[in-house]
Amino acid sequence: MRRLAVAAVGGAVALALTVTGCVAPSTMPSTASPTATSPTTTPTTKEGPTQSPTKAGTPSAATSTRIQFSDPWSTRESARLRLHLTQVAAIKAAPSGATIHLVMYTFATAWAGRALLAAHRRGVNVRVIIDDHENYRWTKRLQAALGTDQRRRSYVVRCHLACASDMTYPRRRSAGTIRSYVHSKWLIIDRSGTHSDVVMIPSENLTPAAIEQSNDMMVLRGDHAVYSFLRARFDIMRKDAGTAYGTVRSGSVTMTMFPMPLPQDYRVRPDEPLPASMDPYLEYLRDIQCGGDHSTTIRIAMYMWTYPRLEVARRFAELAEAGCRVIAIGQPLSPESDEGWDPEITRTLLDAGIELHQTGGGVYLHSKIVTLDGWDTSGARLHLAVTGSSNFLLQALVASDDLIVTDSEEAVVAAYSAHVDKLIARHSRPVR
């Protein structure tokens, strides 16, 4: 049994989707056997182990879950930097001999940098993977202090492009190239204060820019299965040689590390949507009942959503047209402009009568939240919260190191749903 604590803050908004309605079984093919499309661009992947088994674990009785949300609209720095401060406090509480593993897309904050260096000096093993898209001052300082020798107890790794692949492909709407990234964000510590197996999954990066973003974070304590899974992912990623794909299930929590395995002859087609049969996210939306006394609500708060993930938008539209209520909220967007969401995505949702909202006032949504609260088509209760680092982007599935986390605990789903509702009510305006 998990204990739940929620630090709910009225705050940032992004994209929230709410569905309520009639029985709407999916008409899409199963994602069990992905099929390749004809070639256009050849991905370059790194040779190495493909870790695809699903691991199951049972959390201990001492396992607890805490959900936190930042509040970029607050006048209090402690609320705006809540997720930062929680991570720094956990680092500071790690005793000599403990081990910290950190994976981060952007690392540019002095608070975390100083805490990690102090931890190293007092005998904590500090091991860090940072994406190579920028070389910020605190990234360089951390790397200079800890070094890059993985035989030592502390080190920094900078994978070339993603740790899993070197895939690149042309942008669809503008000149340039889309590349793979180390986009996962997690902090795990084997011992921190009185807690063991501490796992933190934020949507934010460790950067000062997070003070102007709406973010969320799941904190697990005492879940050895999840901790061990992420530590194993780290050990694969640090070799910069292949995908760390895999799934772990522990109690109500499931985590999947991407990129997913692809057919050998798969070629990226940025001008076409990813086939529904290849998009694992659609599995969450396959068995939903809407309407009548059994009304399901789906909320989505999504930072980025681009054309190759159009099939996800079409599924939400299908649910809405079947009688579901759908509400979406995101950073500034419109049917005519390409700001966060491609216009084809926005048009697909609006044409189905889905209610869209957007943030403003210099604050943007950086979360990647979906919640389902209702019933499946058999009449069984359905509760699911989906979070992590994965946007609705093609590279999040096929190229980048990304993480999707789900939790079916009713109280967790309620916490995420209430947060999205608060964002819509307090910090958004409708898009028409």
Residues 194 and 272 placed together within one structural domain of the fold:
no
241 and 295 assigned to the same domain: no
Does residue 18 carry a pLDDT above 80? no
Nearest to 290 by CA among 25, 5, 2, 11: 25
Which DSSP helix (H) or strand (E) runs through 117?
Answer: helix 110-121
Q: Which of 32, 69, 401, 410 is nearest to 246 (CA)?
A: 401
First to last CA, the chain: 44
Distance between CA atoms of residues 392 and 113, nearest Å:
30
pLDDT at 43 over 90: no
User: In terms of domains, do 197 and 287 share one?
Assistant: no
Total domain count, the chain:
2
Average pLDDT over residues 2-28: 48
What are the tens digits of pLDDT across the range 116-159?
999 999 999 999 999 999 999 999 999 999 999 999 999 999 99
Domain boundary among 195, 224, 247: 247
Report how far residue 10's alpha carbon sits from residue 365's, in angstroms, rounded to the nearest whole number.
13
How far apart are the C-alpha atoms of 369 and 391, rounded to whole Å?
9
Looking at the structure, do residues 231 and 305 belong to the same domain, yes or no? no
Asked if residue 276 is part of any domain, the answer here is yes
> The pTM is what?
0.89
Q: How far apart are CA 33 and CA 9, in angstroms?
A: 41
Question: At residue 14, what is the residue type?
Answer: A
**Long-range residue pairs from 380-386, CB within 8 A, at least 24 positions apart, any chain:** 382/287, 382/288, 382/289, 382/296, 383/408, 383/409, 383/410, 383/413, 384/284, 384/408, 384/413, 385/412, 385/413, 385/415, 385/416, 385/417, 386/284
Q: Is residue 87 part of a domain?
A: yes
Looking at 104-108, 198-202, 229-233, 325-329, which range is the least confident one? 325-329
Question: CA 307 to CA 159: how far, in whole Å?
Answer: 27
Residues 195 and 310 in one domain: no
Flag whether pLDDT at 48 surpasses 70: no
277 DSSP 8-state letter: G
> Is 47 within a domain?
no
Over residues 402-411, the mean pLDDT reads: 98
Residue with tokens 């309620």: 414
Domain boundary among the residues 216, 247, 278 is at: 247
35 and 84 housed in the same domain: no
Count of C-beta atoms within a 10 Å radius of residue 135: 11
Residue 16 forms part of a structural domain: yes
Give pLDDT, residue 409.
97
Report d(CA 373, CA 36) in Å as an integer.
34
CB 431 within 8 A of CB 327: no
Picking from 18-22, 132-136, 143-147, 331-335, which range would have the lowest pLDDT averaged per residue?
18-22
- Asked if residue 252 is part of any domain, the answer here is no
Are 211 and 359 part of one and the same domain? no
Please indicate, yes or no, whether residues 33 and 69 belong to a single structural domain of this protein.
no
- Of 138-152, 193-207, 319-333, 372-386, give the lowest mean pLDDT range: 319-333
Q: What is the mean pLDDT of the chain?
A: 87
Strand-pair category, 326-330 with 355-358: parallel
d(CA 13, CA 330): 6
Does pLDDT of 77 surpass 80?
yes
pLDDT of residue 32: 42
| Residue 310 token pair | 């159009």
257 belongs to a structural domain: no
- Whether the CB-CB separation of 125 and 154 falls below 8 Å is answered with yes
Neighbours of 336 (CB within 10 A): 9
pLDDT at 360: 77
Instruction: Decide if pLDDT at 26 tops 70.
Output: no
**Domain, as residue range, for 289:** 3-41+262-431
- Residues 106 and 184 reside in one and the same domain: yes
From the list 112, 262, 116, the residue with the least C-alpha distance to 180 is 262
Question: Is 230 inside any structural domain?
Answer: yes
Q: Are residues 281 and 353 in the same domain?
A: yes
Let me know whether 73 and 179 are in one domain.
yes
Q: Which residues contact 99 (CB under 8 A, 6 or more apart)?
A: 124, 125, 127, 189, 190
Give the model's confidence band at 33: pLDDT under 50 very low, under 70 low, under 90 confident, else very high.
very low
CB–CB of 310/345 below 8 Å? Answer: yes
Rounded CA gap, 153 and 10, in Å?
Answer: 41
Residues 398-418 as b or e (16 or more Cβ within 10 Å = b)? bbbbbbbbbbbbebbbbbbbb
DSSP H helical segments within 183-291, as ranges?
Answer: 224-237
Q: Has residue 22 been placed in a domain?
A: yes
pLDDT digits (tens, 9 = 90+) for 349-365: 999 999 999 987 788 89
CATH of the domain at 121: 3.30.870.10
Are 213 and 269 part of one and the same domain?
Answer: no
Read off the pLDDT of residues 271-299 as tens digits, 9 standing for 90 and up: 899 999 999 999 999 999 987 788 889 99
| Three-state SS at 16 | coil
More reliable by pLDDT, 328 or 36: 328
Q: Which of 215, 247, 279 is the last residue of a domain?
A: 247
Q: Give the whole-number percent of the chain exceeding pLDDT 90.
A: 71
- Residue 303 pLDDT more than 50? yes
